[in-house]
Structure 1
């Protein structure tokens, strides 16, 4: 089953190189970083808090990349997203390297070795990893390409879904005059507009298949993908081409409820609670005014707006229950929502107690519920 990550327990690090001393310039990469960061933080994708999305543009040396990667890997509990756009090179030992502004193709020490990034992912606290590589081998600059392995094989990491642009030439990677590189432009279009006739959630398998068809039709190299431990089921957005045009009804029906309701079992943080709460109304097809009317006066339009835009849990359950019921959420799911609300309150109480008991000058780390989602991400041997 496809699942959206909890944005409060997830992190993204977006790395891009647009300026080079010794390789062709890629000015579109700047737009890639800006627009992908905005999309991940916005309502068309995961609604990640802006501080959870780190952009590293034109890093002067590998250490400039490694430090934010380590921090994100430590902070992410649910999902860690790593994106790179720029020139990708294969060194004389068939290892993938990512080009930085001062990279010289014949000097491996001037590149970011992908294996360093891979080791951080393997040691991450996150249960899931998504790697997006929008890069080429830059065969002209390097003078050789690996004959045995593709980019995706070079970069595969256990517990990760890897999506890689398989561009073999620089012009295919960044068509002249386009706002974005070919791969990232198609990815952004998919997240923003959805896939007509697709599933309610845009999981990585659906995104990959759609990008493959789209880029092939445009004459661009098709992407590659590698899936480890059910990573294909992780979603990056709701399918905006499939959102309901009509609201739910209260009339009895023998048809099963197929609305793309957010899964309360995926909630780990307060941020995730309110992100999913806002998504409930989108799934219902109702406006705030319609939700208020359907609540029979129990919750006003102003109360709905305050509820989905607050950053602390409601002290009582009644308003949230009225909102969910008015949106048409099934009773069994409302019970699950209440369970998540209780669990988050308990976690907050534990954190508050730990802070009160911590020695002066020390700060207790907040407690985050760490529920595994459908056991999709068990590591080998666990």
Structure 2
């Protein structure tokens, strides 16, 4: 049984919690946080955070549907779209998703809400192998807890997909329960967090639905419904946390009985506890097995940076065994480096052990400490302090219960909540969506490399953007138009992975072959900073 590839999958979580003309639904905001936390956990699915988009309180159809269209175009394995909030019956008995300003006036609610059919068409037209829609919604009339007329559920049908609604078409949907989440979504989150006793290593969509159904019926709550097209219900979507050994492949993840903060006197003790098996090497694991299992951060390389929840880790290789000084460039093909590169794509968690010789702010006074699980987010090359090229990796700590935060005024400030304005680009680092929108508009949403335009059936144009100099530690690039390119998903990923770079004459270079493959298109409305092009080249150019 194969679990979907997180790198080839996308999720969009949409929720409207605040309304001008209908009762607020504060649990909906918590639904979004809880679901995202579980979907990105490696022991559940391991969806990369940048592939799990949260849309809270969208003000119009564009804000709700643009992220769905982008995800639908990018997804190749699984596309998952979730909506929670009020819904209203349209004039033609169709399902309409309420926005914060959707009125109760039937004459105006039609054009001040979003047709579910528009969302359904986007999902239907996706090239994803599996398409999942989850609806936890109701519509407001004399009460807030009704779903709609009999044929409303039938309209959710998407061929070759799996749809779950939070109640039968003729029964109310409980939007507000007594707990932290809505009643329906609470059961979804519970099965992700706790798994199913006696189940297999993975849980299929059908098994997830059956669990949620049993729990809601036993509590005398509305019965959820499902619609399965082409046996999508057999898809093994998540790992079963209640199944022994199901969290990650052997060697990865937590070691039973070893808590974060556990101290070890020696490398031998780490080896015996299987926290870090090598007695000398700082990286455990291999590219073939799926990536690095564990690393030791202990001041072995002067280019290392420890920021607590973010670690800039220097790869291995190139040191003289006697002097421990760098005598040659590091290579991506060195075994430990290849393992960490694989971890970027497999998303398997890496155990981090800090030694006493590391940064004193985070390291133990003696011996070693196990400091939890991290994910490897990115890599780059740089000239090290000893004059040779080193490869560096950015690792971010996995937190079980920390809610996502967004900045108030600056990309690395952690305060305030306004997901509609700020988009996450790394742990604690966010970009201003408005600046990215200005760059897109300057290029009429065309990819600056290939000219491709992503366009919704209704005519919306959507194109991703990428920062040439990352906003995240240690790069700390500015969130300004000169540091941003408007590119298609393929070229965005190639830039982020260093597969392509851009010369000062704007030729786009394939870094594997060294050949030019195109030209960066510019215009007078958007100036690309050559200093940012050079910065990106210096990270990845190997010739």
TM-score by length of 2: 0.49
Are 1:155 and 2:156 counterparts? yes
Instruction: Give a deviation string over 1:140-190, Cα, whole Å, max 9, x none.
Output: 369997553253x221101211111017446x2212x42100011111010
Displacement of 1:349 in angstroms is 8.2
Matched, 1:315 2:333: yes
Gapped regions of structure 1 (runs ≥ 5): 245-259, 262-277, 321-346, 364-382
Aligned to 1:38: 37
What SS does the corresponding residue of 1:154 show, helix, strand or coil?
helix
Q: Deviations over 1:215-235 (max 9, x none)?
A: 111121121111112211223
Query: Which one of the candidate residues 515, 532, 537 is aligned to 1:356?
Result: 515
Deviation by residue 1:18-43 (Cα, 9 ceiling, x = unmatched): 01112121000111111111111113
Q: Is the 8 A contact 1:40 1:46 kept in 2?
A: yes
RCO greater where, 1 or 2, for CA within 8 Å and sep 6 or more?
1
Greater CA deviation, 47-56 or 234-243? 234-243
Which residue of structure 2 aligns with residue 368 of structure 1? none
Rate the CA distance shift 1:130–1:143 in 2: closer, same or farther, 3 A.
Answer: closer
Separation in structure 1 between the aligned mates of residue 244 and residue 77 of structure 2, nearest angstrom: 25
CA contact (8 A) 2:79 2:131 kept: yes
Q: Is the 8 A contact 2:204 2:238 kept in 1?
A: yes
Corresponding residue number in structure 2 for 1:96: 95
Supply the distance in 1 between the matched residues of 2:103 and 2:230 (Cα, whole angstroms).
36
Instruction: Say if 1:75 and 1:355 are closer, same or farther in 2 by CA, change over 3 A.
Output: farther
Contact 2:17 2:28 in 1 (8 A): yes
Asked whether the equivalents of residues 255 and 275 of structure 2 are also in contact (C-alpha less than 8 Å), the reply is no
Distance 1:8 1:102, change over 3 A: same
- How far the C-alpha of 1:77 sits from its partner, in A, is 1.3
Determine the C-alpha separation between the residues in 1 that align with 2:219 and 2:112: 34
> Is the Cα contact below 8 Å between 2:96 and 2:114 reproduced in 1?
yes
Q: What residue number does 2:14 align with? A: 15
Q: Aligned residue for 2:224?
A: 223
Alignment match, 2:24? 25
Shift of 1:208: 0.2
CA distance in 2, matches of 1:147, 1:60: 26
- Cα offset, 1:201, TM superposition: 0.6
SS of the counterpart of 1:279? coil
SS at match of 1:304: strand
Counterpart residue number, 2:426: none
Structure 1 position 133 matched with structure 2 position 138: no
Greater strand fraction, Structure 1 or Structure 2: 2
Q: 1:201 aligned to 2:192?
A: no
Partner of 2:31, secondary structure, is: helix
Q: CA deviation at 1:66?
A: 1.5
1:7, distance to aligned residue in structure 2 (A): 0.8
Q: Select the structure that is richer in helix.
A: 1
Alignment partners' CA distance in 1, 2:514 and 2:159: 36
Pick the structure with greater CA Rg.
2
Query: Hey, what does 2:48 align to over in structure 1?
Result: 49
Question: Which residue of structure 2 lines up, in the alignment, with residue 250 of structure 1?
Answer: none
Q: Are residues 1:304 and 2:304 paired?
A: no
Is 1:71 matched up with 2:70? Answer: yes
Deviates more, 1:161-170 or 1:56-65: 161-170
1:268 aligned partner:
none
Q: How far apart are 1:197 and its partner, in Å?
A: 1.1
The TM-score with structure 1 as length reference comes to 0.68
Question: Structure 1 residues 201, 36: closer, same or farther in 2, change over 3 A?
Answer: same
- The reply to whether residue 165 of structure 1 matches residue 183 of structure 2 is no
Q: Aligned partners of 2:90 and 2:70: how far apart in 1?
A: 28
- How far 1:90 moved relative to its partner? 2.1
In the TM superposition, residue 241 of structure 1 has moved relative to its aligned partner by 0.9
CA distance in 1, matches of 2:200, 2:521: 47
* 1:216-259 Cα shifts (integer Å, max 9, x gaps): 11121121111112211223321111124xxxxxxxxxxxxxxx
Q: Deviations over 1:106-160 (max 9, x none)?
A: 1211111011011111221312111111112445369997553253x22110121
